[in-house]
């Protein structure tokens, strides 16, 4: 047999190896990824998928909680559960297994899931981001297909990629991811005319119709890459895809089997999204904390700067007052000195005057005496 099987088991094992290491690294940083899966009712296929999710999470060391709700669960109860999970820090990813029982409103439930915990990438805001080519989370099944193409180095650029099926879960996001890689994309559906012709022109053919063996050998170009997203249960209980694998595998360059193909990849990509969600929420919390602390830090810096400037002003004022005081004291001292010197001078003058007066008196007496003796002699 030609070795042209794109094995989901093999490729997901390689991806899971990386995810396991990533989980260990996140845990070392204190990030403990957690996933919550909700299932309502008894759909056997859904039960198998949910069980696979639980097992895969366990094998990678990702914490998981499964909520198995009865068929008659009311919308309000389901919404309450989603709200409670939205608030929990230990739950990073929330997934509500579809389809839900008919009486429940899927859209309302999906809209209720916190968009940062929407690991299915079904929330309208996340769908919009995929459309813009800026996905937050990659939609699991299409992302699994892209991972398979990448693993085998299958070129997408410029190739004609035909997606059969236009569901919100697979067909539409699949087209977006192929377009992002520069594929030339055609989306076909139940109303498409010339379906066989369009499929036959595909370099990459993605079947996501949900009808067993829908894609037959005559709808496939020789050398095409055929991706089978369908998982259908036949009357005998066996699983089969949307592609007639036995016949088409002889024409295809590569082909995915069912089971063991895209389905396994879907679960693996869900785990990848859960790790991404955990990292995102952790970083968001750190940023929130920084933002909360930023005003406090700003006020602290402002107070410090103002205190420093006030201290400088006080020092300057004190120094200037002291200088002034010193100058005044020196002036007073100089005045006192001048006063003392004037006093001394006055004192000296008075002394000199007294001396002069005494001298004058002596002279007078002398003169008087001389006159007297002159008179006596004459
Ligand atoms: N049912 C079938 N596929 C999926 C899926 O990828 N996510 C959810 N939530 N339900 C599904």
Q: What is the pLDDT of residues 104-154, one digit of tens each?
A: 999 999 999 999 999 999 999 999 999 999 999 999 999 999 999 999 999
For residue 349, how far is its CA from the centre of ligand 1 (angstroms)? 124
Q: Report percent pLDDT > 70 for the chain.
A: 99
**Region 309-323: what's the mean pLDDT?**
90
Q: What is the DSSP string of 252-273?
A: -SEE--SSSSHHHHHHHHHHHH
- Ligand 1 pocket mutation pick from 41, 54, 56, 120 by most atoms within 8 angstroms of CB: 120
DSSP state of 45: H
Report the C-alpha gap between 92 and 277 in whole angstroms.
6
Tell me, what's the pLDDT at 140? 98
Tell me, what's the pLDDT at 302? 85
**Region 79-100: what's the mean pLDDT?**
98
Tell me, what's the pLDDT at 2? 58
Contacts of 143 (CB under 8 A, 6+ apart): 177, 265, 269, 272
Tell me, what's the pLDDT at 299? 84
Tell me, what's the pLDDT at 92? 98
pLDDT in tens, 161-186: 999 999 999 999 999 999 999 999 99
Confidence class for position 377, pLDDT limits 50, 70, 90: confident
Q: Are 173 and 142 in contact (CB under 8 A)?
A: yes
Q: Indicate which atom in ligand 1 lies nearest the CA of residue 99.
A: 1
Q: Indicate which atom in ligand 1 lies nearest the CA of residue 120.
A: 7
Total Cβ atoms within 10 A of residue 197: 10
Tell me, what's the pLDDT at 1? 47
Reported for 74-78, long-range contacts at CB under 8 A and 24+ positions apart, including other chains, are 75/103, 75/104, 75/105, 75/108, 75/109, 78/38, 78/40, 78/104, 78/109
For residue 35, how far is its CA from the centre of ligand 1 (angstroms)? 14
Tell me, what's the pLDDT at 294? 83
Q: Are 210 and 170 in contact (CB under 8 A)?
A: no
Q: Indicate which atom in ligand 1 lies nearest the CA of residue 95.
A: 9
Confidence class for position 268, pLDDT limits 50, 70, 90: very high
Report the C-alpha gap between 150 and 158 in whole angstroms.
15
Q: Report percent pLDDT > 90 for the chain.
A: 81
Helix (H, G, I), strand (E, B) or coil at 222: coil
**Region 308-328: what's the mean pLDDT?**
90
Q: Indicate which atom in ligand 1 lies nearest the CA of residue 270.
A: 6
pLDDT in tens, 287-301: 988 898 888 878 888
For residue 156, how far is its CA from the centre of ligand 1 (angstroms)? 26
359: which 2 tokens? 């001298």
CA nearest ligand 1 atom 11, residue: 98
Binding-site residues, ligand 1, Cβ < 6 A: 95-98, 120, 140-141, 169, 266
For residue 267, how far is its CA from the centre of ligand 1 (angstroms)? 10
Candidate from 53-57, 217-221, 329-333 with smallest mean pLDDT: 329-333
pLDDT in tens, 216-260: 999 999 999 999 999 999 999 899 999 999 999 999 999 999 999
Report the C-alpha gap between 80 and 213 in whole angstroms.
41
CA nearest ligand 1 atom 9, residue: 97
Candidate from 6-10, 281-285, 322-326 with smallest mean pLDDT: 322-326
278: which 2 tokens? 């955990």
Domains of the chain, start order: 8-289 (3.40.50.720)
pLDDT in tens, 146-158: 999 999 999 999 9
Pick 354 or 33 by higher pLDDT. 33
Q: What is the DSSP string of 292-337?
A: HHHHHHHHHHHHHHHHHHHHHHHHHHHHHHHHHHHHHHHHHHHHHH
3-state SS of 16-30 is HHHHHHHHHHHHHCC
**Region 304-314: what's the mean pLDDT?**
90
188: which 2 tokens? 């076909």
Q: Are 189 and 178 in contact (CB under 8 A)?
A: no
Q: Which residues are catalytic?
A: 53, 97, 120
Q: What dihedral angle (degrees, nearest 10) is formed by the CA atoms of 104, 75, 169, 277?
A: -170
């Amino acid at each position: 047999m030609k070795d042209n099987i794109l094995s989901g088991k093999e490729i997901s094992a390689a991806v899971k190896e990386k995810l396991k290491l990533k989980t260990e690294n996140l845990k070392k940083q204190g990030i403990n990824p957690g996933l919550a899966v909700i299932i309502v009712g008894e759909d056997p296929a859904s039960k198998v998928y949910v069980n696979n999710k639980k097992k895969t999470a366990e094998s990678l060391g990702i914490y998981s909680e499964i909520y198995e709700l009865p068929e008659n669960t009311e919308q309000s109860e389901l919404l309450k559960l989603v709200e409670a999970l939205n608030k929990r820090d230990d739950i990073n990813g929330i997934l509500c297994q579809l389809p839900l029982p008919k009486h429940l409103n899927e859209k309302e439930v999906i809209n209720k899931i916190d968009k940062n915990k929407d690991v299915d990438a079904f929330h309208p805001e996340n769908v919009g981001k995929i459309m813009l080519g800026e996905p937050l989370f990659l939609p699991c099944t299409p992302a699994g297909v892209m991972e398979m193409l990448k693993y085998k180095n299958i070129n997408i650029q410029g190739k004609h990629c035909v997606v059969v099926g236009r569901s919100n879960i697979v067909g539409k996001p699949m087209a977006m991811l192929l377009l992002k890689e520069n594929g030339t994309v055609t989306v076909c559906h139940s109303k498409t005319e010339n379906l066989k012709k369009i499929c036959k022109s595909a370099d990459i053919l993605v079947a996501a119709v949900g009808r067993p063996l829908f894609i037959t050998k005559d709808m496939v170009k020789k050398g095409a890459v055929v991706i089978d997203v369908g998982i259908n249960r036949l009357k005998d209980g066996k699983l089969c895809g949307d592609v007639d694998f036995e016949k088409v595998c002889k024409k295809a360059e590569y082909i995915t089997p069912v089971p063991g193909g895209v389905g396994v990849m879907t679960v693996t990509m869900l785990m990848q999204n859960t790790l991404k969600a955990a990292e995102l929420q952790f970083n968001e919390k750190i940023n929130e904390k920084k933002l909360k602390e930023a005003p406090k830090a700003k006020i602290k810096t402002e107070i410090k700067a103002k205190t420093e400037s006030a201290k400088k002003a006080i020092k300057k004022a004190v120094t200037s007052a002291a200088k002034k005081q010193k100058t005044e004291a020196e002036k007073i001292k100089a005045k006192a000195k001048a006063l003392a010197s004037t006093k001394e001078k006055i004192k000296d003058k008075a002394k000199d005057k007294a001396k002069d007066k005494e001298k004058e008196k002596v002279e007078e007496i002398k003169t008087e005496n001389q006159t007297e003796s002159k008179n006596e002699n004459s």
